[in-house]
Structure 1
Amino acid sequence: MFPTAVFEENIVFNPRGEAYAFYRLSGTTYEYLAPHAKRSVLRPFEELLYVYTGDGQLLYLTEELTITEKQYVGPISLSNEPDIIKEASRHTYSACQALVEGRAQARRVYLGLKLPTVNKFDFSFSAKEVRDHFLDIVSAIKKNTNISERTISEAVRAERELYHQMSGTLDISRITFSDLDFIVRRNVQRAGALPPLLSPRKKGVFDRALLYAMSEGAIIDPKLNYVKITLGDRELYQTFLTFADVPRYIRDYDDEWLAALNGHLFPVDAVIHFKVEAPVKARGKVISRKKIAKDQINESYKGEGEASEDSEWAVGESRSLESKLSGGMPLITFHTTFSVAAYDKTEMEANAKALMQFYRQREYRVVRPPGDQVKCFFSFFPAGNPGSVGIETDPGFLSAGGPTVGYEVGDNRGFFIGWTKGKIPVFFLPGLAMSREENTTGTIVCTGVLGGGKSNLKKLIMELSGLMGARIFSIDPKDEDHVFKKLPFEMKQIDLSALGEAKINPFKLSVETIRARAIANDYLDLILDTQRDDRETRRLVVATAVNQVMLRSPENQDMHTVLDTLEHITKHGLTGLELPYPVNEASNSRIQEEAQNCLMHLHTMSMSSLGRMVFGKGTPDLGGTEQITVVNLKELPLPQPDKRKEQKITESERQGVGLMYLAAAAAREAMLRAPRDQLKVLPIDEGWVLLDIPEGRRLIKEIIRMSRSFNIIPILCVQNASDIDIDGIRNNVGYVFCFRANYDEEIKDNCKMLGIQYNEYIQKMFTSLESGQCFMRDIKHRVGKVYISPQPDYLLQLFDTSGGNKR
């Protein structure tokens, strides 16, 4: 007889008239949490077992994902440009293929709890069993079913009370008919993606027609050690394993014997039937068994024999258990059954052997019960009976298994960007973070050593954002982003490299007078090193020179006018200048001296190949119509990251940093001029260069601060997470990607940024990360180890910075 007879919303009735309420459990990403946080994830399920009494069923099922191209692009707002549509189609096809070939998986966890006794109703069934046909074995053919309104209303009321009791501690949702449909289909077709589900309905009877539709007319053929299921012209093999015994002790965290199934390279499903026994009743049972065990030990000693260690251990443990039961702890009896399946019998056998070995190494006794395979098969259906022997334990053992543990990381929809634990795919949707749905910052931080993969990830995000029509302005100190010329995006590259011919006017980077003044002032403060405590007079000179330039006509607002103003101050002091404050003649000599120093510095700079670049009358069109603008800063003399703390910045390096600052300021202005609702991306490679200087920190803080309201995704690529450990930046980061790190301090900084605990295990993982592997923290602060997998494959070669990609 099929275990499930009737359903009403999320309430399932079995043929015995017992009602079970079923819920879907949501897991919390867990693997890299601190111990106290892990306990807080596991504890709610244990708390449930303390307040609930009765029978329960936990279904731990794999969902093998098949996403059609239409489903994949459904949540993504793609560009309407014909060439970009073609590129998006190539990505979509490749991503869907990768998901199928990689057997992408998600985990579904269902909890069923028997409702308190309701008025029993009568089922009258007759079942005709035919050996070679699944339906005639599994279905109870309904002739007459009478469910009174009172019975249903009592079950609904009991379920409502139960849900209210649980929802405060567990992240649960009531199942729908689609969940029931999935459970039945998954239990029959336990390998590969499932066919489309049936249309929703709120109530119904599991009669022949419904089961036929759900099972696709499957035929079951039970064997001694497995079950063969015929699905049309295909034959599927399922085998079932059970716990015969478990370790005497496990830790309250980091021994997740159930959640560990997610790490296997093949899908494994599990069902746990459990019975929660009230402490008073359980204590009486324990006392009775303890007495029997003591009598056996006494008999052994009377016969001048010796009691077994197991007997003596049992008596000792019974005392501890009796004490716990007296304190209110319930007793749990649970039955665990695992299932592996494949369309190839040899593959099924190999997977079963691997699973048995996995648990035996952890001191679990796993058996493959011959002759009970059909019983195990039916135990996976809602409200079914156990298929294995029961084992008594405390509530902590079940919760420590990890039914509330999850491994998902990334966005809940969007572009496929890689893999995490086992076969779990990772998705990323540019702009989701800033949407009304999430309402958080979209800032992305990438850290890691050279060759770790952070530049590839930056370019992948640029590519995916470009497919959505995003406007992209990239600060490119290594001339890596020229590769976008080979992709179907309109692109402009501005050459501010050491060998470039472009000239830029620091006074013309913003159409807003106030911001134009601030950019020029900050640039000159940086170039003339005014931030030292003993250079207050120099700061005054710079501010005065900038103000005088801004008073000139627009065609004369440039660095040449700065030189003219400084020359005037050198000769005449502040006399003759239009000033908003009175002149202190006593300080004129110091002002003239500082003006002369600044004049000499800037005049010398104007004659150098690097310095002359800021003495342009106009400025490159940094805010054109192209979708991608890349500012090439290759071979600029920038400070070396490994020598930042050991040497002062040289004059040429200061000029290089100044140009990078101007490029970033120009990018900010371009972002502000673009339509506010248009998605915009601002990658800044070697972002630590700007974060090392006050002017750069202010600029990046402002970009991050306005990013949400202006729909901007800043991407900061840095060597170390400590570069981001700055007030106003650290707490305004949405996504974090930490690639390989080699030194303890770097790894500790990464852990702090990710929000995970540093330990020896994490240290070894960071140093052993391969290119493309990283730790990711998403906008929900979930952390997982991710392998970045650009799609299509040609992007990986195109984005390669190891020397394989040439112009």
Structure 2
Amino acid sequence: MAANRDIYEAALSGAKVLLLDPKSERKDICKWDEKLTELGSELNFISFSTKDEDAGKLDPFLLFDNRAEAVEVSREIIYYLLNINIRNDSAKSSIVTKAVKRVGQLAEPSIRFVKDELRHLVQENDTLPEDHRPMALELASILEEFEDVSLARLIFGKRMDDENVLNYANQFNVLQVDNLQLPKKSTPSEEYTEANIVSVAILFSLTAYMMKFLRMFQNELTVVAIDEAWNFFQNPAGERLIDRLFREGRSLFSPIYLMTQNLMDIPSSMRGQIGTAYCFRTDIPEEIETIQEFMKLEDSAGLEDMMPKMQSGYCLYRDLHQRTGVMQVRILQEHLFDAFDTSIDVRELANQA
């Protein structure tokens, strides 16, 4: 509610806004297209689907003019899909890096060619040590299996539309992916389905989309907001992408909003980059302790008693000057309250009534 209000007001004030809505709540549930009439044609929903016209739309080599950046993002995506850890899987990491770099040298590069380059490495003499050849073939086969998952067409599909490029003429842009199957926060990573893994990989590519957005309007205030941000912090690759987005935002004086269930979702090493924060009711002792440490409050602040009893709409707030206090988030206009409320429980009760 608080984040929706902030980015909405930013758009009304003239900022360019890009919101990643991985569950398509803003249009499918909250009906922003019907309720936020004051934004008029400035509200733009950008959908990513399995349709032919969207094939390859999230290919990093399409998103970035800079080949080095496209190579880096492509490598992050493939590392995640293949569950490669740089420290523990140095051989696999080296093989994938060689293949991705070779793709980057092609006249018309595409991330879908990485599996082909992995196989070419095996066929060429003296390119790989003998014991690495079976590994390269196995990685190519696993990658090919992921490409068969329907949503993977967004990343690995052959581009069907040469005009399929970024175009942000609107003030408020909402990125939505049809049928994105993100895992539940409680699901262990080893229990992720293929669709879960591909869905998280798509978030990585969407991060590249957001970085390009920030650079398109360098003389204007731009805001990037990410809902369900915890998905990025389930693995090192996601953390690196968010950190890169933070650095990009700082260099361009563009704020980045992270919406997530708990402050603990964000790694402690990255919390120092957070300025303004809203912390709402929680009864999780570890989360309360994390909030207290983050807000730099003394033990006598009594958060362990206050946070579980905090009324709906109230939060512990910290501003850019490190001032901390209790704030009530109020949305006075009824149509805005209804549009900004993404609470499933509230909507189910309303439907029952």
Normalising to structure 1: TM-score of the pair? 0.39
Q: Which amino acid aligns with 1:713?
A: P
Matched, 1:700 2:264: no
Report the counterpart of residue 71 of structure 2 in structure 1.
Answer: 517
Deviations 1:392-450 (A, max 9, x none): xxxxxxxxxxxxxxxxxxxxxxxxxxxxxxxxxxxxxxxxxxxxxxxxxxxxxxxxxxx
Q: Of the two, which has the highest radius of gyration?
A: 1
Q: How far off its partner does 1:650 sit?
A: 4.2
Matched, 1:569 2:121: yes
Deviations 1:150-177 (A, max 9, x none): xxxxxxxxxxxxxxxxxxxxxxxxxxxx
**Could you tell me how far apart the structure 2 residues matched to 1:497 and 1:744 are?**
40
**Could you tell me how far apart the structure 2 residues matched to 1:745 and 1:497 are?**
39
Deviations 1:535-573 (A, max 9, x none): 22211221111111111113xx11332232223234x1x
Q: Which has the higher contact order (CA 8 A, sep 6+)?
A: 2
Q: Which amino acid aligns with 1:711?
A: F
Report the counterpart of residue 467 of structure 1 in structure 2.
Answer: 12
**Could you tell me how far apart the structure 1 residues matched to 2:207 and 2:231 are?**
11
Report the counterpart of residue 227 of structure 2 in structure 1.
Answer: 685
**Could you tell me how far apart the structure 1 residues matched to 2:87 and 2:191 are?**
16
Match of 2:207 among 661, 664, 670: 664
Q: How far off its partner does 1:639 sit?
A: 3.1
Q: 1:748-763 alignment to 2 at 5 Å?
A: 748-758=289-299, 761-763=302-304
8 Å contact from structure 1 (residues 477, 635) kept in 2: no
Q: Which amino acid aligns with 2:283?
A: N
| Identity percentage of aligned residues | 25
Deviations 1:662-690 (A, max 9, x none): 1112111111122x231111111111211
Matched, 1:793 2:337: no
**Could you tell me how far apart the structure 2 residues matched to 1:757 and 1:523 are?**
42
Report the counterpart of residue 485 of structure 1 in structure 2.
Answer: 33
**Could you tell me how far apart the structure 2 residues matched to 1:633 and 1:753 are?**
33
**Could you tell me how far apart the structure 1 residues matched to 2:339 and 2:127 are?**
62
Q: 1:706-717 alignment to 2 at 5 Å?
A: 706-717=248-259
8 Å contact from structure 1 (residues 498, 635) kept in 2: no
**Could you tell me how far apart the structure 2 residues matched to 1:643 and 1:751 are?**
27
Report the counterpart of residue 615 of structure 1 in structure 2.
Answer: 156
Q: How far off its partner does 1:506 sit?
A: 2.7
Report the counterpart of residue 183 of structure 2 in structure 1.
Answer: 639
Q: 1:155-166 alignment to 2 at 5 Å?
A: none
Secondary structure of the corresponding residue to residue 153 of structure 2:
helix
Q: Which amino acid aligns with 1:673?
A: M
Q: How far off its partner does 1:758 sit?
A: 4.5
Report the counterpart of residue 726 of structure 1 in structure 2.
Answer: 268
8 Å contact from structure 1 (residues 735, 779) kept in 2: yes
Report the counterpart of residue 558 of structure 1 in structure 2.
Answer: 110
Q: 1:32-431 alignment to 2 at 5 Å?
A: none
Instruction: Describe the shift of the 1:795–1:523 C-alpha distance in structure 2 as closer, same or farther (beyond 3 A).
Output: same
**Which ranges of structure 2 fall in alignment gaps of 5 or more residues?**
none
**Could you tell me how far apart the structure 2 residues matched to 1:543 and 1:457 are?**
41
**Could you tell me how far apart the structure 1 residues matched to 2:51 and 2:261 are?**
26
**Which ranges of structure 1 fall in alignment gaps of 5 or more residues?**
1-455, 576-582
**Could you tell me how far apart the structure 2 residues matched to 1:594 and 1:773 are?**
54
Coordinate RMSD, CA, aligned: 2.6
- Counting strand residues as a fraction of each chain, which structure ranks higher? 1
Report the counterpart of residue 541 of structure 1 in structure 2.
Answer: 95
Q: How far off its partner does 1:741 sit?
A: 1.0
- Counting helix residues as a fraction of each chain, which structure ranks higher? 2
**Could you tell me how far apart the structure 2 residues matched to 1:666 and 1:593 are?**
34
Q: How far off its partner does 1:621 sit?
A: 3.2
8 Å contact from structure 1 (residues 498, 633) kept in 2: no
Match of 1:530 among 80, 84, 95: 84
Q: Which amino acid aligns with 1:748?
A: E
Instruction: Describe the shift of the 1:732–1:533 C-alpha distance in structure 2 as closer, same or farther (beyond 3 A).
Output: closer
Match of 1:626 among 166, 170, 191: 170
Instruction: Describe the shift of the 1:531–1:624 C-alpha distance in structure 2 as closer, same or farther (beyond 3 A).
Output: same
**Could you tell me how far apart the structure 2 residues matched to 1:715 and 1:595 are?**
39
8 Å contact from structure 1 (residues 506, 523) kept in 2: no
**Could you tell me how far apart the structure 1 residues matched to 2:288 and 2:107 are?**
53
Normalising to structure 2: TM-score of the pair? 0.86
Deviations 1:59-97 (A, max 9, x none): xxxxxxxxxxxxxxxxxxxxxxxxxxxxxxxxxxxxxxx
**Could you tell me how far apart the structure 1 residues matched to 2:165 and 2:302 are?**
50
Q: How far off its partner does 1:634 sit?
A: 5.8
8 Å contact from structure 1 (residues 677, 711) kept in 2: no
8 Å contact from structure 1 (residues 606, 615) kept in 2: yes
**Could you tell me how far apart the structure 1 residues matched to 2:328 and 2:178 are?**
29
Secondary structure of the corresponding residue to residue 173 of structure 2:
strand
